[in-house]
Structure formats: C-alpha cells, structure tokens
Amino acid sequence: MLTHFRVAESAVGGAVRRVWRTVLAGAFALLVAAPALVASPAPDIVMVSVDCLRADHCGCYGYGPKTTPILDAVSRSGVRFESALATANWTLPSVATLLTGLHPSRHAATHSYSPIRDGISTVAEQLRAAGYQTCAIVAITFSAPALGLARGFDFYDTRVPEVFLGYRPILGFVLAARQWMCSMIGNWSPNADCASADAVELARAAADWLRKPAAKPRFLWVHFLDPHYPYENRKPYYAQFHPEPAPKESPDFSIGSDANQVLKSFDEFTPAVRKHALALYDSEVRYTDDGMAILLGGLNRSRTIVLVTGDHGEAFGEHGKLGHGSDMHLEQIRVPLIVSGPSVSAGVVVTEPVSLLDVAPTLLDFARAANPGTMDGGSLVPRFDGDTAGTSRPAFTERQTMLLTEGDYSMVDGGRHVTMHVYPFTKHEPDVAIYDWKTDPGETHNLFDSLPENLALSSRLHSHFARMYRTLGGDVVQGRAASDPGEGPSDDLRKLGYLR
C-alpha cells in the first residue's frame, strides 16, 4: 500500500507539475502581451495654475530677469510646451476648461454669474471615480461652489471674500454691479481680501495636505492668485527688477480692481510707469515661485506628476490695453505649460501650438482613468517625446460678452494667429487681423491684406464658432470677415456657408 501510494503520489505530482508549467507559461505570455496587468500604482497628480502668468515672463521661456528659478528647474526635468494657448482671456472660463476639457461655449461658464453647465463632469469627478482622493486649494474670485469648480473635490479650500462663496447665478448681476460700483470708488477689489491667501500661505496649506498619510493616489489642484492685479511690491524682488526708485508720477497699482481704473487716461502709462508696473508684476511672479518651492517640497517626486500652467496672460500696453479680458493678442492668451514626473522625459520642448483643452485628458491619461470621450481636447502624452508630426491642431480662444452677439475670437494654426472682434447688434464688419506669431511675436504687423490665404483662415475661425453655437442651439455669431463690398470676403464667406 505504501509503495502504491508513493507511485500514485508521483503520478499526481507529475500531473500537477505539468499543470503548473502550463499555468506559468500562460501567465508569462500574458505578462509579455499585457504589461498593464502589472502596472505600477497610479501616480499622485498635482495641477498648479497661476493667475495672469504670461509665458514670456518665465525664465524657461526666454525671459531675462530671474522671475521663475523653481519653475525653470521643473521645466528642465520635464516637458515644456513652447506655445500653449488659453481658451479664454480671463479666469472663470479658462479654469473651467482646465477642469472639463471643453471649450467655454460648451461648458457655459462664460460670465461671472454663469456656472459650468449641468451634467458636465470635471476631471476631479473622473479621477475620484477612478479611486483618487481629490483636493483643491485655490485663491480665485470666481471659485464659489455654485459655479461648478468644486465638483468632484473631496476637500475644497477656496480663499475669497465670503460674499462670493454663497453666490448663486441669480445673484450674479447684483454682485457684478456691486463690484463695478466699488471699483469706481477705487478702494475695494474682489481680490484684495485674498491677501491672506498669498502664494506662500497657499503653498503651505497644500504641502500640509500632501504630507498626510493617504491610502489612495491623490489629485491636488492649487491656484495661485498673486500676479493678478492689484500688484503688491514684493520685497526684495521688486528692487531686483527695478533698482531705481519708482517714478513719482506713477499711480498706486496696489489699489482698485483694475489697472485701468487708477489711470486718468492711458497717456499716463508712460515708459517709466510701464517699467515700474512690470517690475511690480515680476515681483509677484517671483514671489509665487517661492510658493512653488514650498509646494514642491511637500511632494514625493518619485511618484508625482506635476503640471504647471497659467489661466491667461496680462497686458502692459502692448496693444493699448492693460490687464486681461480685453483682446486676443498673445500677451493675454499665451501661457506656460510644463509637465514633469517619473514617467516624463527631461528637457523636451514641444514647439507646436497646444491648447489648455488638452490638460484634463492628459491628467486622465496619466491616471489611467477612463476618458468620457466627450472632451474637446486630447491627451498630450503622445507628444512627450517631442515628435509632433501629424498631431498639430488649431488652438481656439474666445471671449463672450453679456451682449450675446458680441465677442472676441482667436485661432492659432501653425504659424498664423487670427483674431476677430464681432460687434453687437449691427452689421458692422468684424475686425479681423492675421499675424505670423513666430516671426512677429509682438504682433505688430497685421498681414490680413497681404495674405492670399486670409479668407480661408478667417473663414475657418468663423466657422468653428458658428458650428459650435449651432450645435449648442444658440445664436450663430453674426458678422462678416472684412469690409470689401461686392465680391469681397463677405460674399466668399456666404458662399462657403459661414454667413447667412
């Protein structure tokens, strides 16, 4: 019996070994064919947006003054997008795009009183559904939860005046009127109460949250406000950028809600005053970079994806405008976009234009989270090796006014930048300009009258937004592309079906 048992055991053992060899061979084949089955844990993700941050005032984008040493280091360790365009030239629609991957016309947060459209999910909601713990620590005037930016965040720390926290869309008109009246007085700004939430304080709060033990991967969104007007003299940095005393004729850029309101006329914005204002702005950017250092100090860099961008730019008289939200020139819409992390190649520069539409799908790609398939943007991860052949798409920017038929629209397509201002309630011809932004970054030469492709470019811009408004059931943007009568651009646009 014992011998028989041993023989039986041996036979069984051989069969078992053969089964295990088969199982192991199959498992090995699966691992080779599908490495995602043993993929590393999902990374932590930190998205940093900086209000009013112009790309051309960052060192890694070629700016001479040392405004961003920390951001420059992040750039060297990752991928920098040379030509990133915001989808709007002011905060609410732009950050709503960051969170949704949608054009402002689609997410509908296009005015200070309008929330993200019902039924639209945010990247925070999608990451939370994928198992992420989510947190936002932001200093944004338009961050009231009712506007939809808080959707999907487990923890939402917004540091703005209390009056804005409870505001609902129906009260938007009242609040907008109150803001306007107070700004006319010149001693109140909706951003003034955010002084206690400066970059250093905000970064400390964010770093503290990151240091807490977590059983899940984490998504953190931080929005710094400091470079936004009013400009504070950040010592000692102001003196580094402006060694001489401030000009005596300069107005006080630390009061009011808009730089235009402290000037009696634009004539007061002399070269000396402009230099002073730029130094104040640069000192705010440099101080924000200090906050970046504190924030990055709280990260586990070996497992954290860091994405840094701006929500829009800031004008300093380049085209007769101050601040933002007023036109579509590059100083108001070109922003930095930098991505760094354990799976990102270092020192890569992507030169082709990209849009902030692409941020949300890129974050989902890093998290290996499901993309809802409804976003207007696409993941930038395939471009991280610097090979952009066949991947370039036009980057669109828009600004709607409270007069629904008026607006500003922009398209960067290859080396051309097309801008269009559509007038309200009239048949006045839109103002159209075309620039070669690569050879003329200051956009001083309008090429519309000299380019043979001017009609095709302006028609493409017009048709994009016309098609979007039709899809949404809204009014088509009315207007014509130029003022030539007869068989001019207006008739060409009608023949192409872009005008009625």
Residue ranges making up the domain that contains 207: 44-388
Is residue 406 in some structural domain? yes
Between 74-88, 291-305, 410-424, the lowest mean confidence (pLDDT) is in: 410-424
Q: Which of 365, 388, 411 is the last residue of a domain?
A: 388
How large a percentage of the chain has pLDDT more than 70?
Answer: 75
Task: Identify the CATH number of the domain in which residue 449 sits.
Answer: 3.30.1120
* Same domain flag for 318 and 361: yes
More confident residue, 169 or 50: 50
* Same domain flag for 384 and 486: no
* Same domain flag for 193 and 255: yes
* Same domain flag for 271 and 405: no
pLDDT of residue 133: 97
* Same domain flag for 145 and 20: no
- Flag whether pLDDT at 480 surpasses 70: no
Q: Into how many domains does the chain fold?
A: 3
- Flag whether pLDDT at 146 surpasses 90: no
pLDDT of residue 452: 81
* Same domain flag for 375 and 411: no
pLDDT band at 9 (very low <50, low <70, confident <90, very high): very low
* Same domain flag for 150 and 19: no
pLDDT of residue 255: 80
pLDDT band at 402 (very low <50, low <70, confident <90, very high): low
Is residue 125 in some structural domain? yes
Is residue 396 in some structural domain? no
* Same domain flag for 215 and 92: yes
- Flag whether pLDDT at 35 surpasses 70: no
Is residue 500 in some structural domain? no
* Same domain flag for 425 and 319: no
pLDDT band at 166 (very low <50, low <70, confident <90, very high): low
- Flag whether pLDDT at 405 surpasses 70: no
- Flag whether pLDDT at 390 surpasses 70: no
Query: Using one digit for the tens of pLDDT, what is the confidence trace for 334-367?
Result: 999 999 999 899 999 999 999 999 999 999 999 9
Is residue 281 in some structural domain? yes
* Same domain flag for 30 and 80: no
**pTM score, two decimals?**
0.82
Q: In the predicted model, what is the mean pLDDT of the chain?
A: 80
- Flag whether pLDDT at 479 surpasses 60: no
* Same domain flag for 413 and 384: no
Query: Using one digit for the tens of pLDDT, what is the confidence trace for 92-120?
Result: 999 999 999 999 999 999 988 789 999 99
pLDDT band at 266 (very low <50, low <70, confident <90, very high): confident
Q: What is the arithmetic mean of pLDDT over 247-253?
A: 90
Query: Quick one: which of 498, 446, 455 has its CA closest to 476?
Result: 498
